[in-house]
Amino acid sequence: MNEYSDQQLLRVYASTRQETAFSELVRRHIDLVYSAALRMLRDAHLAQDITQGVFVALAGHAAQLADHPVLSGWLHCTARNLAAKAVRSNARRRVREQEAVAMNELHAAGSEPSWDAIAPHLDAALGELSDTDRDILLLRYFERKTASEMAGLLGISDEAAQKRVTRALDRLRELFIKRGMSVGAGGLVVVLTANAVQAAPVGLAAAISTAAVTPSAVTTSTLIATTKTIAMTTLQKSIITATIAVLAGTGIYQARQSSQLRSQLQATQQQQSPLTEQLKALQRQQDQQSGELAQFRDDNQHLRQDQAELLQLRGEVAVLRRQQQAPKPETSGRSALVNASLDENSSDDVGRKLGMAVVHAESQALEKLASLARAEYLEFNTNSPGLSDDERGHLSMRVFAPLKAAFQVIQDAAVQGNQNAIDAIISAVRYSELRGEAVQGIGALAAVGNNDALDVLVNYDQYGFPLSGVVSALELAAGHGDQKAIDFLAAVARDPRDQALWYHAAIGLTASAGSGNTTAIDALIQMSGNTNASIRNAVITGLQAAASNHSSQAAAALRSLNAP
């Protein structure tokens, strides 16, 4: 069933009621529906009920939806309506409280809102968009379709699909601004990519498939009972009325007995209360163990896949090494040094090809790049123990060369405006093995004037980026004179707790100090008292550049350091 489209699966289920077809639809879309319900309700159990209700509705409307072009749009709208009904009694109060808290936090922080601030309002904002805008955002960020896949589904060109995504993002941002939340396009893309879809609880899909495909029996029995009640004759109703009148006399006596029994029942329940708590504790423990078991199974499956990919990658590397070690005939005009350089460069071919596949948005290309990174980290961690610092450096350059070659291709394409490459850099943030290279790619975009990329780096803590990677990534932007990047590096220079990052901060501030930027010069002087040789040399280089541009402050600092 994997090769069937959503529309084909709906037609199969509508005509044959085949459970396999419906289970495949549940598998494809359960995470999207559950995530939307969880965001709106903030309650995992209620979110599961809403998710089940959505797919029950889907089973009932399968025939009508068989020609619907984007099923995820209908599912999201249905989830939103059911969730609104479930919390209608206290929704207004909740929303007012959450909006007040979010507004206070935003005014106090003065920075882009985090996912926790955006999530409660995301689905309401999506609901205010047009069907076209909402469908394209659901396809891109909730189903994670590429531009070519969206174009194929909607019958438009890749460029038109990307333009629709950009316009829909702008309209979504405007809706957030109306709610008092100012968020950049880049920041919104990052939080949507990283958090929009969360995995539904284990076993929910199977329960939904079972419940959704058997609603007809319940409906039929209920209809029969209702029909029988309506069909009662006037005589039967009279008999029932008389019977009720006779029974009313005995009701008083039975009420007294019921009161006594109720008191006895309450006493029994109080005695059973400790046992009930123990039973609940055991149930929670069992649920936790079931979840851990499912996680272990998933980890084991990923480990098997990683091992297979590692063996394949090791085979490719071995072939390249054998090619390097094979004797090559000398040719006139080519020295041995040139031959060695060409052999060395050939080991990067795997990375470059994979980088081009990502730029061209080929299916699973980014996942393959993440697998390559995992294999490289495994090889480095296996072979690095016991090596000296120089040996570890050489090993790192050799092992990670394919990954760096791949990201160099992606980064170059992104700087030139290739949208697939830009999307890939943003999506790479989701993979821990690729996050470091992704941060450097965002830094390259910031260096060419991409303000959204710069805002993401400056607000690094909202996206879980390490400060060390951000400082290195901002070197280019600061070198090009971007004041926001210069201010960020200067703040690092003023904090003694960040002395380990001062070398990169000094490198990034050198060019702007040479151009006479007083913030950069003051930051270099702030770091000049550090005794680390590398930091001291980097600071002196920056001050010399400023002094050559007639900075008296820099010249005085150099004299105090006894530096030329």
Whether 257 and 343 share a structural domain: no
Asked, for residue 322, whether it belongs to a domain, the answer is no
Residues 385 and 499 occupy one common structural domain: no
The total number of structural domains in the chain stands at: 4
Is residue 488 domain-resident?
yes
Contact criterion met (CB below 8 Å) for 49 and 70: no
User: Is residue 219 situated within a structural domain?
Assistant: no
Last residue of a domain, one of 398, 433, 468: 433
| Same domain membership, residue 184 and residue 45 | yes
In this structure, are 188 and 241 located in the same domain? Answer: no
Residue among 35, 422, 74, 366 at smallest CA distance from 196: 35
Amino acid 314: pLDDT: 57
Closest of 68, 61, 56 to residue 14, by C-alpha: 61
Listed as ranges, residues in the chain with pLDDT below 50 are: 89, 102-103, 105-110, 215-248, 250, 328, 330-344
Structure tokens belonging to residue 63: 């025939």
Beta strand residue intervals within 172-330, DSSP E: none
- Answer yes or no: is 270 within a domain: yes
What is the rounded CA–CA span in Å between residue 358 and residue 369? 8
Number of Cβ atoms within 10 Å of the Cβ of 456: 29
Q: Is 520 exposed, middle or buried (0-12, 13-18, 19+ CB in 10 A)?
A: buried
Q: Given 212, 241, 265, which residue is the final one in a domain?
A: 212
Per the domain annotation, does 323 fall within a domain? no
Residue 235: the pLDDT is 42
Query: Which residues are CB-neighbours of 193 under 8 A, at least 6 positions away?
Result: 141, 426, 427, 429, 430
Shared domain check, 107 and 22? yes
Spacing of C-alpha 559 from chain mean position = 51
282, 315, 348 — which closes off a domain? 315
d(CA 114, CA 460) in angstroms, rounded, equals: 11
Domain membership of residue 225 (yes or no) is no
* Same domain? 106 vs 200: yes
Tell me the Ramachandran region of residue 146: left when phi exceeds 0, alpha when psi lies from -120 to 50, beta otherwise: beta
Does some domain include residue 228? Answer: no
438 in a structural domain = no
Q: Can you tell me the distance from the alpha carbon of 260 to that of 348, in angstroms, rounded to the nearest whole number? A: 85
Q: Are residues 125 and 22 part of one domain? A: yes
pLDDT of residue 414: 92
Kindly state whether residues 25 and 120 are assigned to the same domain.
yes
| Same domain assignment for residues 61 and 118 | yes
**Range(s) of the domain holding residue 88:** 6-212
Q: Is the Cβ–Cβ distance between 553 and 525 less than 8 Å?
A: yes
- C-alpha to C-alpha distance for 454 and 444, rounded to whole angstroms: 9
**DSSP letter string over 140-178?**
IIIS---HHHHHHHHTS-HHHHHHHHHHHHHHHHHHHHH
Are 85 and 42 part of one and the same domain? Answer: yes
Tell me: do 53 and 185 sit in the same domain: yes
Helices 6-16, 19-41: axis angle to 10 degrees equals 120
Neighbours of 56 (CB within 10 A): 17
Listing DSSP states for 24-62 in one string gives HHHHHHHHHHHHHHHHHH--HHHHHHHHHHHHHHHHHTH
- Statement to judge: residues 456 and 380 lie in one domain: no
One DSSP character per residue, 418-446 reads -HHHHHHHHHHTTSTTTHHHHHHHHHHHH
* Alpha-carbon span 505 to 527, nearest angstrom: 10
Q: How far is CA 102 from CA 38, 86, 139, 454, in A?
A: 18, 23, 28, 24
